[in-house]
Structure 1
Amino acid sequence: MSITDPPRPHHTVTAIVVSHDGSRWLGETLEALLRQTRPVDRVVGVDNGSRDGSTALLTGALGPKAVLTLPRSTGFGEAVTEVLDRLGPGGGQEWIWLLHDDCAPDARALQALLRAADQDPRAAVLGPKLRDWLDRRLLLEVGVTVDRTGRRDTGLEAREFDQGQYDGVRDVLSVSTAGMLIRRDVWDEVGGLDPALPLFRDDLDLCWRVRSAGYRVLNVTQAVAWHAEAAYRRRRRITASGDHPRRLDRRNAMFVVMANLPFRPLLRALVRNLFGSLFRTVLFLAAKQPANALDEFLAFGSVFGHPVRMLRARRARALGREQSYGTIRRLLSPPGAGWRRLADRTQSYLSGAGFVESAGRHHAVTAAQQEDGEELLTDAGVTQRVFSNPGVLLFLALALVTLAAERSLIGGARLGGGALVPVIGGASDLWDLYREDYHQAGLGSDAWAPPYVAVLAVLSSLLFGKTWLAVSLLLLGSVPLAGLSAYVATRSMIPGRWTRVWLASSYALLPVATGAIAAGRLGTAVVLVLLPVYAALATRVLAGERRRARRAAWGLGLLLTVGTAFAPLVYPLAAVLGALAALAFPRRGVAVSMAVAFAVPVVLLFPWLLQTAADPGRLLLEAGLHQSSLVEARLPAQALLLLSPGGPGMPPLWVTGGLITACLAALLMRRNRMVIAIGWGVALFGVLVAILVSRTQVTSAGGDVEAPAWPGVPLAFAATGMLVVAALTADRIVEFRAAGGLRRAAALGVVLVAFSTPLLAAGMWVARGADGPLRGTVRDVVPALVAVNSAGGERALMLHGTEEGLRYTVLRGRTPVVGEADIPAPDGPRERVRLAAAGLVSGRGGDDARVLAAHGIRFVVLTAPVDPRLSQALDSQPALARMSLSRAVGVWRLTQQVALPAAPPGDPWHGRWLWAQAVLVLVVAALAAPGSRTDGAEPAPQEEPGPVRELAAR
């Protein structure tokens, strides 16, 4: 030491070990305490009513005179205060070293803490680096901070190993009482641990008050201690408080923040806690954790329901609170950290689903730079892991391909054409349509609105009422969404990330996908996104643990409801495959789970599903218009076998040849025969249904079009079976490649051919564009002249001459909103209007005009291209007066009085059932929502093999 250095104070250290039913850890803790390289000067053991022999351990190690026994309900702070009240002051500068019974310090821990204290006379509280008791490499704490709502933040990733990345002496907001070294005079000055906080957050409150008093709190990473966190992880019963531990922790967190913040930050934190607690309560209920929801609610009430206690606590902490807040603010979690935690938890959840495959959860690391006090945030880990993940890269690549291919559709004024009516209106229009018990659209109908309208209404509401954005997301974004869905859903079935990338990209770029977009088939686009999720949930139903299987069954039922609402054919296809799967895997509870999954759509879609099943042809239709120009009358068999459903937007047949070749190559494999048989069975079933569908004539909801149904949905089922077969045999291809010779050449050939499918499909789609009847900008279906003169809701008869004959549609003086065209017209009025329309163009007289007037039709419109013969026929009718005529459109008005038919009285059960339906949807969603374990010590989840992998193992 230099002669100019000030003399170092003589340190006296009193160690206090507090025990409560901790005999399984206490022996190692006492041994570690007694072998310190810098021995403690005094040791006192306190036992709070242990029933497991902890008192005997303390007495045997420290002697009976050094052990104090207190009641079982005594808190940690009360025990320490009781010891200090009975002890006299030590010599020199006295330090108190607090140890839990489950905290074993390293032999050099105390020496390192005192050395750091010698370097800074303002250091009053010092804490060691804490590692896990069981996995001694695992970091638990290097100091702790909180946000303004009391949420604890260690600045560490989950299961982060100690590699020296945080080494040094660091300013922190708080250190744990497990290994805390605090000056005795500072303890007395600030009043020690608050007895109102018997457990949890008492260390945070003490350190905050120490900082408010002008002292420093340091974490010294050269000092190491191993902590079991027995109370936090519920490894022993807590008796110091009557509250549930989680409720106690949350209550104390809010109490400490509210008691120590200055007035203005307190007001902001009050609002954050109010809305944050309500939000977390709702999230806990949605996650089927009612106990946690109750704890959150009661914790908030217990803090803010006792204002006198809060005012008393704030008055006791008033000294230095305003002056020290500038320093403390830099040590609190920065604004937005809570949202980052929510995003990271979402990332962790997606990791379990296979989207993000990195282990652990990231937290923003906050440190006060000692030079200028600026905050340092390191979020690069999340970005790096996300954007290096194959699933994310696949999604981005498919999104870029989609943008390039749909260049003519993006940015238009109004999306429409093909099967998609021009997208107008907002979420409120969809809700009105779905709630109506009688629809004035068309000829009027009391039929139930298609339930997909409600799905679009919900999505539109979430997108700020923009229906066009919801439709664009589902239809135009279906390719990247389908690729992401296939990649995530096959994690439990398909080994190898890059195999899943091939599967997902091939699936997303199927001719079904590009054809659905080109023709505006919203129903097929939605089903394409949902189909891989169906497969993943069905796998879990068949092979998962009973509770997980039942939860998956509710989820499968809910998503089947959505798919069936858009394309009713999904339900019978899935039901047949589900029944066969239940028979093939007769495990306990599978039949019940499958029954649950297929009962949910029947209940939630009642009575619309019953109304649809009454006309079996309507099961083959999907959301949108049914037009003969969108399907091929006699689709060749080779097209169906190559998964091409026909119609606009189809690539050449040879594009999917690589996929078929890879699937045929799987038949040569001797292993996995059961898997191959099941996959090909699904594929052949889908192809056979597609053949049947493409040969079936179906009448549109309005009754004006009869044409073959489009086989896109069954071909999507077939493609799923083929892709799973090819992907599950990829490991054999790798073996062949390693074998050398002809096998190596054959394996490389199969791989090249297989990868040609997504590459060729993407290239052809980009080169051709999303060409088809779908357009980014379409005109209103109803001419502006008709819309202006239809203020009273009068209807318009839209006539269109085709090679097959005259087609007609009745509209209510405006372009219909999405879903109105799917409401079936009643047979009687529809037939009378059909005969009247035919009479007008054939030259019959006023009786036909009177029929139109009786049904509220005031205008007759000829759509492009206007047929001169039809316009002359309408001009010759004395009951019609021409308003406008051009090559694009012709408009005539009935000369006689027109009155809209009165709507029948409303059905009182209609509205009641809609409310019941909403409640049932929420109940099913809650039953399907993933639960979470609430125990502190959780074993690492083990992936359960799905039925496909079980079969593959055979």
Structure 2
Amino acid sequence: MSVHSHSAAPNAAAAAPEFPRHVVTAVLVSHDGARWLPRVLAGLLGQERPVQNVVAADTGSADDSARLVTESLGGERVLHLARRTSFGTAVDEAVRTAGVLTPDDLPYLKRPSGWDPVTRSWRDDAYDMPELPHGDPVQWLWLLHDDSAPEPDALAEMLRVVDNDKHAAIVGPKLRGWYDRKQLLEVGVSIANSGRRWTGLDRREQDQGQHDQVRTVLSVSSAGMLVRRDVWEELGGFDRRLPLMRDDVDLCWRAHMAGHRVLVAPDAILRHAEASARERRPIDCAGRSVASPHRVDKAGAVYTMLVNARGKQLPWALLRLVVGTFLRTLAYLVGKVPGQALDEVAGLFGTLLRPGRIFAARRARGKGAVDAAELRALFPPPGATVRATVEQIAGNFGSRTDSDSGGSRHGVVESGPGGDDADFLEIEQFARLKKLGRKPGPVLFALLLLVSLVACRGLLGSGALAGGALLPAPADVSDLWSRYAGGWHPVGTGGTQTAPPYLGVIAALSALFLGSTGFALTLLLVCSVPLAGLTAYFASRPLIESRLLRAWASIAYAFLPAATGALATGRLGTAVLAVLLPLIARAAVAAHGLRGDGSTARGSWRATWAYTLLLTFTTAFTPIVWPLAVVLGIGVLVLRRNDITAYGLRFLATAGTPLLVLAPWSLSLLTSPSGFLEEAGLDLGTGTASALDLLGISPGGPKAAGGILLLGIVLAALAALLRGERQFAIRTAWAVVLTALVFAAVSNGSTWAGPATLVYGIALLAAALLGADGARVRVAALSFGWRQPVAALIALAAGIAPVLAAVGWMIGGATGPLERRDPVQVPAFVAEESATRDQPRTLVLGGTSEAAVSYSLVRGSGARLGDAELTEAGGSNSHLDKVVANLVAGSGADQGSQLSGFAIRYVLVRDGAPRQMSRVLDSTPGLSRLSQLDGSALWRVDRQASRLTIVPSGEGAEPVPVGSLPVEAHTKIPEGDAGRVLRIADTADPGWTATLDGVALTPKTVDGWAQGFALPAGGGTLDLTYDTPVAHTAWVWTQVALGVVLVVLALPGRRREIDDDLPEETESVPAEPVAGEGRRARRLRAAAQAEAAGSEDEPGAANAQALHADAAPDTGEQYIPAQQTADPYAAVPGDQDGTGTYAVVPGDQDGTGTYAAIPGDQDGTGTYAAVPQQNAYGEWDAQQQYQGADYGQYQTGQDAGQYYQADPYQQDPYQQQGAYDPYGYAQQQPYATGAGEAPYDGHDENAAPGQNPWQTGNGNGNGNASRGESE
């Protein structure tokens, strides 16, 4: 029996509701939803335009859900299904049970009898009306979840939309949060090609009417979906293979393809708790056990895309799904949420491995009545999902603790100044300046960058950075990577020595810049000063609060002599250390639990891994930081001796990980400890710093001025020892100062002391910061004496020192030995000839005296980045040493044959070499002088020089050159005599292999050092290769894997999203201002006062409760479910006495208008109280007035009693066990509202059949501008 049914009285009929021809059957599905059902039932039964029928289906709820719906709707309206029943199946069963209501079931649909109750007479003109005066009834299904509470006018607003658009088949409401009453959840929904659920909303976006346009959408949520019953039956309802999620998108997509229209009615509002998606209850319908919502949603997304994608779009959709899943899986692993990564993979392959279901579903859907291109505008615009992902990552890893970062989730954005605010518009123009003053970090970086660009004006332009300790970088990143990962290094006479690991780091960085190694080096060097200042400012935040002092310390650190000197001399290692050292210091403090107050809170492992990552990174460039860290770590162990186990493990991880990741290069440092004092690049000799320079934080050298200029910082750090508070932090900083000073003194004796002085300088600045914090107050509190002038002088000296250093550096310029120049280090024709088939080499001679001669064997156009370390690690070739010694000694013998044996075709003497060396070479047989340019002289060897030659077996025969590449050779060789040898001018090694027509040649060593192979008499195709050992390749990739793992361990984990829709705890704010309070406290007090003032202007809660109690006397009547046989429009739900007011709101038994501890718990006992119940309907004849023969003039009168709607959405105090961010699909870009989109009241009432009366164009007739096709 329907809700609108006949009563026993003759000629009685139920009153006609608004939009009478639309017959609505509400279907409510419940599953462990007792905590939300009281409000859901109140919203359902309290509709201003009630439904004609209600059917509920409970799927094996373990709580009181079944009892609540039974008490509210009656037992005959409730189906009890198995617990694993899916939502779609439950809806199908409920629809089948409900049946179709006809005019016989709904008397108001028929022609009235003609009886006028006013005149108590019959009117004959009633018989002139049609049999169905409201037209043929249209059957609708209104689907509701047990956690979705509609507003009182929700159904009326949706029916208003469908009544104006006869082509609408599915309509959905606007979804808001359950607790956050202004937060938008959905206003229509779409799906990207990657399967991402797309709402077009920003995360925590507040509803200000910005999306209130009736428009066509791809889909609406199943929560509150109003679907025409004939369309439901035509489409077969929800797909049974989608047990819970994405069933709504699939249904609406199929409706579009069948030629129906799906609209969203934003004036209809429904509050949704999203209980399953937010893990507020288990999902039992997606398998034999409880399923993860992430996995269910992923599987639903894959299935929906594959079964609905049309034709040519299917391969692209499949590719996007697979690639997107792979990328998201990596992101979840990096974010340290392996469970969600597993859900991604399981959801994808759980669907793909069942192709039969996909093909069957595609066959059932057929081709469709609408071209898929017509729906393109309903999908996300190109690039939207990428932008949303980037913003989500930034939000996950960005800081959310800054008090100035914005408002809370309940904040709204004002459209502009209004009222009294307009009077201060001119003053508010300076708001941006004030904001920059509160956040000087970006301004500081911009200022330092400007100073650096001016100072480095000579380092900008074309050419390669080179000079000092820096060699030009290879032009191609692959070449740079091969220098690190390759098994054979073509440097000098070649070798298998271990490459320095910083080459791999720079190669990885260059890959981020599209393979530009030159840009990566420019960034690391030219931008090292501003980047150092920025990281110093960031790292000092936990140290003190004063932004001014932090900015001063950052500038002072950026212009330390070691930083500017490293840039001028091309010391790449020190420049990288300058950028990362502040971050290392902050991570070290956090890892070891060192706080300024001396507390013993244990540091986190994430901070330990961050410290280890940074230490490993910088050790690759400046090895000296590792022994420094070890010494300081031992000191921490002494301090933490009471917790030696925990900190001992941290120490082992910190000290051992760099050795492991950087092995075997790091092991060579342990066998030769002097290597710890070196850094990336060429060795420029011993340090030149004096004792005063070291005390003044200067390592000496070009552009490294310091000494007396920076003694003010040293004095400020010494003065910090006089402070009574924070002595633990100050003494810790001084311990680092003394340790670094010792290392600087040791380094200065053999190499440059720049890295150690950087550590020394940052520790001094930390101590000075701690001493300066609050110094003005402390000094002012003392009686005037010698302390005030001394403090002022120290402050002046410390404050002006970085300014003078910056100005002097900017005026003098950063150019020193480092400069922009042509990377070719030999004459152009020599460089060009070195790339020919002979691969000839150049012997470069230099030195400062006849007794100290240096040489290098150059291949190609000159040495490149990393060649200096490779040459040093490979050692010298004793045979080549002897040849060079004989050459410069002037023995008088012909040196051509000896030089050609090393493939040397040219001899170059650099400018600055002794003149005697040139005279000797001029008189050496076999050498011909060619030219002299820029002070350098060049000679050519008269003998044939080639890397690969065939040495005949006979005595005195000339070697035959063979073409080759820098390492390998693939060429034809002629026939010859037996016993000849293939000679390679590279060091012999077991990795060399050669074949002739596929037959392996026998390797041998030639001349005691060169690699050779015995050749047969026959000719053929020669293939010469070097086989890199498998162990070497495996270890290189193991290093890469260890580096990735270390990065993952160091990065912050993907924060489990705080539930966007939970009640916020009220922050306690003092009623009156207190001394020392911050801006946040003032803002909170102002907001509280504004809220209190607003509540006074509105009817108070107490008055509403009193009115509610007075208007709802207790009738003492008991509701009987079986008596639901009359008109629900005679009284609103809860109106027991027909006065039009609520007797008791859900959860309010005493009439106070307030809710108990939990929804439905009135007495705090944990039991549910009475829920809203369906009441009896009044007689239609007692309420209507017959006004004439025109049936359109029949008016439905209702009681004029006061209607009071208590707030059924008061915050639920239950505690959430853990929020779930479905797929990380939060933070999405909003739809761009097109200019042609019309609001609700702008529809076309005269739309032609098939024409959409709701404007969805973008102003040019090309579809909705708020939608687009996903990439």
If the TM-score is normalised by the length of the shorter chain, which range does it land in? 0.7 to 0.9
For 1:333, the aligned partner's letter is: P
Alpha-carbon offset, residue 347 of structure 1 = 1.7
| Change beyond 3 A, Cα 1:263–1:507 | farther
Retained in 1: the 8 A contact 2:697–2:706?
Answer: no
- Of 498-507 and 589-598, deviating more is 498-507
**CA displacement, residues 348-400 of structure 1 (integer Å, 9 cap, x when unaligned):** 144139899846999xxxxxxxxxxxxxxxxxxxxx99999654444444444
Alpha-carbon offset, residue 343 of structure 1 = 1.4
Secondary structure of the 1:196 match is coil
| Change beyond 3 A, Cα 1:32–1:889 | same
| Change beyond 3 A, Cα 1:728–1:72 | farther
Q: Partner residue of 2:301?
A: 253
Q: Which runs of 5+ in 2 are unaligned?
A: 1-17, 107-136, 410-433, 595-599, 946-983, 992-1027, 1066-1271
Retained in 1: the 8 A contact 2:849–2:913?
Answer: no
| Change beyond 3 A, Cα 1:142–1:438 | closer
Alpha-carbon offset, residue 319 of structure 1 = 6.8
Return the match for 1:724 from 745, 761, 766: 766
Retained in 2: the 8 A contact 1:351–1:357?
Answer: no
**What does 1:202-221 correspond to in 2, within 5 Å?**
202-221=247-266
Is 1:572 matched with 2:627? yes
Q: Partner residue of 1:329?
A: 376
- Of 726-735 and 108-117, deviating more is 726-735
For 1:809, the aligned partner's letter is: Y
For 2:41, the aligned partner's letter is: L
- Of 830-839 and 163-172, deviating more is 830-839
Secondary structure of the 1:644 match is coil
**CA displacement, residues 897-923 of structure 1 (integer Å, 9 cap, x when unaligned):** 878364232484544543443444344
| Change beyond 3 A, Cα 1:506–1:859 | same
For 2:499, the aligned partner's letter is: A
| Change beyond 3 A, Cα 1:601–1:347 | same
Q: Partner residue of 2:326?
A: 278
Return the match for 1:604 from 661, 664, 677: 661
TM-score with structure 1 setting the length: 0.84
Is 1:713 matched with 2:713? no
Q: Partner residue of 1:931?
A: 1053
Retained in 2: the 8 A contact 1:10–1:93?
Answer: yes
**What does 1:909-948 correspond to in 2, within 5 Å?**
909-932=1031-1054, 937=1059
Secondary structure of the 1:812 match is strand
Is 1:765 matched with 2:850? no
Q: Partner residue of 1:904?
A: 989
Is 1:263 matched with 2:311? yes
**CA displacement, residues 317-352 of structure 1 (integer Å, 9 cap, x when unaligned):** 4575534753x3223211101210221023214413
- Of 113-122 and 933-942, deviating more is 933-942
| Change beyond 3 A, Cα 1:350–1:911 | closer
- Of 307-316 and 852-861, deviating more is 852-861
Q: Which has the higher helix share?
A: 1
Give me the whole-angstrom Cα distance separating, in 2, the residues matched to 1:124 and 1:619.
76
Q: Partner residue of 2:128?
A: none
- Of 727-736 and 765-774, deviating more is 727-736
**What does 1:696-845 correspond to in 2, within 5 Å?**
696-697=749-750, 709-727=751-769, 732=774, 756=800, 759-778=803-822, 780-784=824-828, 786-787=830-831, 792=838, 796-802=842-848, 806-814=852-860, 815-825=862-872, 829=876, 840-841=887-888, 843-845=890-892
Q: Partner residue of 1:700?
A: none
Retained in 1: the 8 A contact 2:894–2:924?
Answer: no
Retained in 2: the 8 A contact 1:353–1:491?
Answer: no
Alpha-carbon offset, residue 749 of structure 1 = 9.3
Tell which structure's C-alpha radius of gyration is larger: 2
For 2:672, the aligned partner's letter is: D
| Change beyond 3 A, Cα 1:88–1:671 | same
Return the match for 1:418 from 468, 471, 475: 468
| Change beyond 3 A, Cα 1:680–1:349 | farther
- Of 288-297 and 329-338, deviating more is 288-297
Retained in 2: the 8 A contact 1:794–1:856?
Answer: yes
Retained in 1: the 8 A contact 2:896–2:942?
Answer: no
Give me the whole-angstrom Cα distance separating, in 2, the residues matched to 1:142 and 1:802.
79
Give me the whole-angstrom Cα distance separating, in 2, the residues matched to 1:85 and 1:828.
88
For 1:914, the aligned partner's letter is: V
Give me the whole-angstrom Cα distance separating, in 1, the residues matched to 2:139 and 2:795.
74
Q: Partner residue of 1:875?
A: 922
- Of 242-251 and 296-305, deviating more is 296-305
| Change beyond 3 A, Cα 1:443–1:29 | same
Q: Partner residue of 1:19?
A: 30
**CA displacement, residues 822-861 of structure 1 (integer Å, 9 cap, x when unaligned):** 1354898467866765665455554999987776666432
Q: Determine which structure has greater relative contact order: mean sequence separation of CA pairs < 8 Å that are 6+ residues apart, divided by chain length.
A: 2
Q: Partner residue of 2:388?
A: 341
Retained in 2: the 8 A contact 1:143–1:154?
Answer: yes
Return the match for 2:731 from 677, 693, 716: 677
**CA displacement, residues 853-877 of structure 1 (integer Å, 9 cap, x when unaligned):** 7766664321114643332233234
Alpha-carbon offset, residue 19 of structure 1 = 0.9
Alpha-carbon offset, residue 455 of structure 1 = 1.9
For 2:728, the aligned partner's letter is: M
For 1:98, the aligned partner's letter is: L
| Change beyond 3 A, Cα 1:848–1:402 | same
Is 1:560 matched with 2:602? no
Give me the whole-angstrom Cα distance separating, in 2, the residues matched to 1:94 and 1:783.
90
For 1:557, the aligned partner's letter is: T
Secondary structure of the 1:263 match is coil
**What does 1:680-699 correspond to in 2, within 5 Å?**
680-694=734-748, 696-697=749-750
Retained in 2: the 8 A contact 1:651–1:764?
Answer: no
Give me the whole-angstrom Cα distance separating, in 2, the residues matched to 1:485 and 1:230.
43
Retained in 2: the 8 A contact 1:554–1:600?
Answer: no
Is 1:863 matched with 2:920? no
Alpha-carbon offset, residue 213 of structure 1 = 4.5
For 2:646, the aligned partner's letter is: G
Q: Partner residue of 2:42?
A: 31
Secondary structure of the 1:622 match is coil
Return the match for 2:532 from 476, 479, 482: 482
Q: Partner residue of 2:605?
A: 550
Secondary structure of the 2:172 match is strand
Give me the whole-angstrom Cα distance separating, in 2, the residues matched to 1:777 and 1:426.
18
Is 1:456 matched with 2:506? yes
Give me the whole-angstrom Cα distance separating, in 1, the residues matched to 2:78 and 2:808.
82
Give me the whole-angstrom Cα distance separating, in 1, the residues matched to 2:354 and 2:581.
53
Retained in 2: the 8 A contact 1:445–1:826?
Answer: no
Q: Partner residue of 1:513?
A: 563
**CA displacement, residues 459-478 of structure 1 (integer Å, 9 cap, x when unaligned):** 33444443323322322232
**What does 1:68-217 correspond to in 2, within 5 Å?**
68-90=79-101, 91=106, 92-167=137-212, 169-217=214-262
Retained in 1: the 8 A contact 2:396–2:1054?
Answer: no
| Change beyond 3 A, Cα 1:262–1:443 | closer
For 2:380, the aligned partner's letter is: S
Q: Partner residue of 1:309?
A: 357
Give me the whole-angstrom Cα distance separating, in 1, the residues matched to 2:1056 and 2:259.
39
| Change beyond 3 A, Cα 1:440–1:590 | same
Give me the whole-angstrom Cα distance separating, in 2, the residues matched to 1:459 and 1:555.
19
For 1:798, the aligned partner's letter is: V
| Change beyond 3 A, Cα 1:357–1:421 | farther
| Change beyond 3 A, Cα 1:42–1:568 | same
Retained in 2: the 8 A contact 1:260–1:321?
Answer: no
Q: Partner residue of 1:702?
A: none
Q: Partner residue of 2:703?
A: 649
Retained in 2: the 8 A contact 1:511–1:651?
Answer: yes
**CA displacement, residues 62-86 of structure 1 (integer Å, 9 cap, x when unaligned):** 2222211011111111111111111
Secondary structure of the 2:819 match is coil
**What does 1:582-661 correspond to in 2, within 5 Å?**
582-585=637-640, 587=643, 589-628=646-685, 633=688, 635-651=689-705, 656=710, 659-660=713-714
Count of residues in Structure 1 that have an aligned counterpart in Structure 2: 899
Return the match for 1:58 from 69, 74, 81: 69
